[in-house]
Amino acid sequence: MAFPGWWERFDIYRKVPKDLTQPTYTGAIISVCCCLFILFLFLSELTGFITTEIVNELYVDDPDKDSGGKIDVSLNISLPNLHCELVGLDIQDEMGRHEVGHIDNSMKIPLNNGVGCRFEGQFSINKVPGNFHVSTHSATAQPQNPDMTHVIHKLSFGDTLQVHNVHGAFNALGGADRLTSNPLASHDYILKIVPTVYEDKSGKQRYSYQYTVANKEYVAYSHTGRIIPAIWFRYDLSPITVKYTERRQPLYRFITTICAIIGGTFTVAGILDSCIFTASEAWKKIQLGKMH
């Protein structure tokens, strides 16, 4: 029977009998405010614990080594004043590729009763500097005055990332409107492509590409006359890779924060209550001294 009494010696949270404590109106107010404050901080920390954090880093490497040195491209562009039979896609790069009139995985949709054309294409490019361009070069008969005014609906590289917390230039040319340009002008879009990796909480990676763009518009001439206009997309790849990683706050950190909130709030509230109570008792003594 002596064991329970011996074990109680290890209790560092000694209890004070209730008949030795005195509740106060001020103490009750501080206690209620303290609990509400703890509840507010707890909910704030819980929201942060549940929310996924996006961490980014930079490194020099080719992230998608299994791609075979290829990058998938998605192009969607409208030329409202050029017939579909005249529209073609040409691809060339520094590895010697030169393809005129690429038609695989592409579609031409007539616009304005056949006057214009919307070109949608899925193709791949090599991971070397090069260009692809929309022009009339593949047409059997060249028009006298091809109108290259256009609207770019989409130009993206790699996998499509639909992540709200990542703000990047994955479709920097989307919405580009050149309808008021000189119809006979060529358009040069100079693209700097940046490899981008997105890794979710499960460790699955998706490979996409951001890009910056500069553009110019010009009418080109040679000694034989005016050069056939085209819409050029000249690209080069950056050696820097951007990686976004989904992370969630560890459970132990959440528990540590909650303990700190509860302990710190009660400690500060206790000090405040003690100061108010001491001041109140001192004031009462002063008042009693004046009455006597």
- Residues 163 and 200: beta-carbon distance below 8 Å: no
Q: If residue 101 lies in a helix (H) or strand (E), which one and from where to where?
A: none
Per-residue pLDDT tens digits for 53-98: 788 888 888 888 888 889 999 999 999 999 999 999 999 999 999 9
pTM: 0.73
Per-residue pLDDT tens digits for 16-31: 777 667 777 778 888 8
Residue 192 has pLDDT above 60, yes or no: yes
Output phi, psi for 142, to 5 deg. -80, 135
Residue 164 has pLDDT above 90, yes or no: no
The predicted structure's pLDDT at residue 292: 57
Hey, is 3 helix, strand or coil?
helix
Distance CA 128, CA 120 (A): 23
Number of residues written out for the chain: 292
Per-residue pLDDT tens digits for 231-285: 999 999 999 999 988 888 788 888 898 899 888 888 888 888 888 878 877 877 7
Q: Where are the domains of the chain?
A: 18-51+249-281, 61-239
Q: 164 burial class (0-12, 13-18, 19+ CB within 10 angstroms)?
A: exposed
Lowest-pLDDT range of 27-36, 123-132, 217-226, 254-263: 217-226
For the chain, what percent of residues have pLDDT higher than 90?
45
Single-letter amino acid, residue 134: V
Hey, is 26 helix, strand or coil?
helix
